[in-house]
Structure 1
Amino acid sequence: MKRAINKCWRDSASLIVLARRNVDNLSSGNSVDTNYDILLQTRTLDTSFSNSVVFPGGVNEEADASERWLHLLSSFGYGQCDFETLHRTGSHITPIFADNPIKRHIALRITAIRETFEEIGLLICSTKHKASKSDKWANIVSDIDLKLWQKRVSDNPLELLNLCKEHNCYPDIWNLYYWSNWLSPAYLPKRFDTAFFIAAIEKKPTDIKASSEVVKVEWASPKEILERSLKGDVTLYPPQAYELNRFTYVKDIEELKIFAKERSSHGNELFYPVIKQAKDGIVSLLPGDHLYPSNVDLKSTTTFIEDKNLLDLRGSNSSLHRIETSHKKSFFITHNYKPKNHINMGNQVTPINMKTHVITN
């Protein structure tokens, strides 16, 4: 995979916040649904991913990698050994962390926490010294002037550090678990290389305050939001549609927390869709598919033309990891695909509805 020397995208981080559902609120009493909800927001029309349902997050800033964060974390008892737990030595290095894995893990977690606070007022920070921290759930600091601090942090990312100092807290980075890495296709006008993290909180907060970039904030189960998407009630982009589908394979929040924590320090491949134009539709190939190229140019806008139908491109009993789109219908397809250090979704042909911007030659 040819990773660009002069990047034409911006690094970013996104936070998938989970909270246990009340038993009474399980979808129609359906026991096959998850017992947790995910925090989602709908962006305004004048922002990136406008009018779509996304996880909180945004662009990585220089302030997120400031050495001053290490001094703050050290004052709460954390040292080099704690920082090194964020990356498993000898494991595959996820591309977005490649330059300096430990430093990048810290900085991108701070990005995810900062952007989540800016956008919806949820501050995932802790006031506990390392010696008294149990790490069962991600911690939240709520007794602050949200409107004041959201504006200050939005105007200057380093203000999050001042917020932490004033309220004697620090970003709860060890309760953020790395989940996946997605890079926007080259044909999009704005591109983001995004690290997705998971944080599980014990109770849903009641004081979330959205910023001007957000139209709506809501809690919903993965199944619920996917069903609403199929009806056309909400708009999803491929990373969100994919991850929500993946969550449906783990029903219990405790099981998901354990899994996410265990796999967090492992690396995995970059999710970068490679587009092929078939005679009757479009296929977006993902890593692990038998047609996925061994060497991908991440800056190329070429769409490969195939003189075959979508069914023919699947091959015979091959490894499939792709999204097929034809006649305004899309399907997420896996077959004989085993991900590296992640949830095995088995064999499926699942209908999905998502927003794409595919161009052809």
Structure 2
Amino acid sequence: MTRDARSQDAASRDAMSSDITPFDITLHDGGPDVVVRWFEVSEDLVSMLGPAATDGGTGPVEIAEVAPARAAATVMVVRDVAGRGDASAPRAVGEGALEATPSAAEAPNVSDGDAVEVFMLRRRASMAFAPNRMVFPGGGVDARDADADLPWAGPSPKRWAEWLGAIDEAEARELVAAAAREVFEECGVLLAGPDEERLVGDVSGEEWEAERDRLLSREQSFAEMLIRRGLVLRTDLLRPWAHWVTPEFEPRRYDTRFFAARLPEGQIPDDRTSEADSADWVRPRELLAALAEGRAAMLPPTVVCVEQVAEAPDTETFLAWAPPMRRIMPVLERTDSGTLRMRVELPVAGGRP
């Protein structure tokens, strides 16, 4: 079970994002396939950037030194709210399954409360990147994710390269491996099984906790663990979802692919990660309300993804709805009055961003 989050509301008032006020936004038509969304910038960020950011003409703010963006992967683990939707176990798909996506009329939409919930972490205040923010399990790609011996079942790396957009098979393989490794390390969800048709069940015991510790300490790779356990990575359980890049003004940047996956039957995510002070299942609409009231903090990519989960009538429909895989990077802009805001161009999917 996850740590009691009863103190989260009080603590999160002090954790309000210093980068954005997510609900001070307006929408503009950015073209036939893009909606432009503006995220207001707080005084803290203005102070951090200094006079150079607010002085000068309107338009994009030039950043003198732009840090490179490290490849990363994050996973939205979802499940149906009890008593609603299809609560069946993850269903395997073939390589062509992601090609038949719903039309605009079929995109997720629900108007009477949350039908799907998502597992999220709140990062510790001491973290260098996104402190105090609500996030999905994930992290950076590292050398271990390139292990060619990784047991693989499901869509091929070539197919994943096509889905993830303009990358080669090696990069696609590393991103998928990183997504699966990170979600296991951070919350104990293992997207693997003895073969391409079966899944492991409960992985919450001491032996599995020791496996996670060895991954975190780099004593073993994800591939080595799966091989020793006689398991294969079930890549068919992951769905490509979005591609976000950290804004150029941030000193620590990531080039992140977002994935979605349904919680495997019998598995129980936890809060063992040292990077978060709380972790639990979240009702999207409740989190968005807390965000609007200043009781929670999220970065723009997380806000958009949580809004999309909130629209889903069930996990089956949510996972079948594949938004366009388009690179999204917020751009800092200066208005006529000299104030700052972030411009985000979102691909239109299902009639909404």
Normalising by the smaller structure, the TM-score range is: 0.5 to 0.7
Q: Does 1:345 align with 2:349?
A: no
Residue type matched to 1:67 in 2? A
Alignment of 1:112-261 (within 5 A): 112-127=179-194, 129-130=195-196, 132=197, 142=203, 145-156=207-218, 158-203=220-265, 205-206=267-268, 208-260=270-322
In the other structure, the counterpart of 2:172 is 105
Partners of 1:109 and 1:22 lie apart in 2 by 29
One-letter amino acid of the structure 2 residue matched with residue 179 of structure 1 = W
Among 71, 82, 88, the alignment partner of 1:11 is 71
CA distance in 2, matches of 1:82, 1:11: 20
1:213, distance to aligned residue in structure 2 (A): 1.4
CA distance in 1, matches of 2:201, 2:137: 16
C-alpha separation in 2, matches of 1:8 and 1:192: 8
Instruction: After TM superposition, list the pairs within 5 Å mapping 1:83-102 onto structure 2.
Output: 83-88=157-162, 94=165, 98-100=166-168, 102=169
Conserved 8 A contact 2:121-2:136: yes
The SS at the match of 1:219 is strand
Partner of 2:326: 269
| Pair 1:256–1:35, CA change in 2 (3 A) | same
* CA distance in structure 2 between the partners assigned to 1:197 and 1:273 by the alignment: 19
SS in 1 for 2:321: helix
**Residue pair 1:21, 1:35 contacting (<8 A) in 2 also:** yes
Measure, in 1, the Cα distance between the counterparts of 2:203 and 2:179: 17
What residue in structure 1 maps to residue 130 of structure 2? Answer: 49
Judging changes above 3 Å, is the alpha-carbon distance between structure 1 residues 37 and 236 closer, same or farther for their aligned structure 2 residues? same
Name the SS for the 1:49 alignment partner: coil
Contact kept? 2:70, 2:140, Cα under 8 Å: yes
Give the SS at the match of 1:67. coil
In 2, are the aligned partners of 1:40 and 1:55 still within 8 Å (CA)?
yes
**5+ unaligned residues in a row in structure 2: which ranges?**
1-65, 86-109
| TM-score, length-scaled by structure 1 | 0.65
Q: Is the CA contact (8 Å cut-off) linking 2:77 and 2:118 kept in structure 1?
A: yes
Cα distance in 2 between the residues matched to 1:276 and 1:143: 46
Return closer, same or farther for 1:181/1:24 CA change in 2, 3 Å cut-off.
closer
Letter in 2 for 1:9: A
For normalisation by structure 2, the TM-score amounts to: 0.66
User: 1:122-162 CA distances to partner (integer Å, 9 max, x unpaired)?
Assistant: 222222x23x45xxxx8656165233122210111743222
> How far apart are 1:202 and its partner, in Å?
4.9
Deviation of 1:282 (Å): 3.3
**Cα distance change, pair 188–23 in 1 and its aligned pair in 2 (3 A):** same
Distance 1:115 1:194, change over 3 A: same
**Structure 1 contact 210–216 (Cα < 8 Å) conserved:** no
Amino acid at match of 1:142: V
CA distance in 2, matches of 1:112, 1:23: 29
- Paired residue for 2:340, among 257, 274, 282? 282
| Two-structure CA RMSD over aligned residues (Å) | 2.9
Question: Partner letter of residue 19 of structure 1?
Answer: R
| Offset of residue 281 of structure 1 | 4.2
Query: Cα gap change, 1:62/1:171 in structure 2, threshold over 3 Å: closer, same or farther?
Result: same
| 1:33 to partner: Cα distance | 2.1
**Does the Cα contact within 8 Å between 2:187 and 2:269 map onto a contact in 1?**
no
Distance 1:269 1:21, change over 3 A: same
1:274 alignment partner AA = V
**Alpha-carbon deviations, 1:248-295, whole Å to 9, x = none?**
3332222112223xx6xxx632111122222274332223xxxxxxxx
- Which letter maps to 1:168? G
In the other structure, the counterpart of 1:309 is none
Aligned partners of 1:118, 1:202: CA distance in 2, in Å? 16
Secondary structure of the residue that 2:160 maps to in structure 1?
Answer: coil
Larger deviation: 156-165 or 53-62? 156-165
Unpaired runs of 5+ in structure 1?
1-5, 288-320, 322-337, 347-361
Relative to structure 1, is the Cα distance of residues 141 and 108 closer, same or farther in structure 2, using a 3 angstrom cutoff? farther
1:155–1:270 distance in 2 versus 1, CA, 3 Å: same
Q: Give the secondary-structure state (helix, strand or coil) at the position aligned to 2:311.
A: coil
Letter in 1 for 2:344: L
Deviation, 1:197, is 0.3
2-structure distance, mates of 1:141, 1:197? 22
Change (3 A) 1:174 1:44: same
Equivalent residue of 2:298, what SS? coil
The 5 Å alignment of 1:29-48 reads 32-47=112-127, 48=129
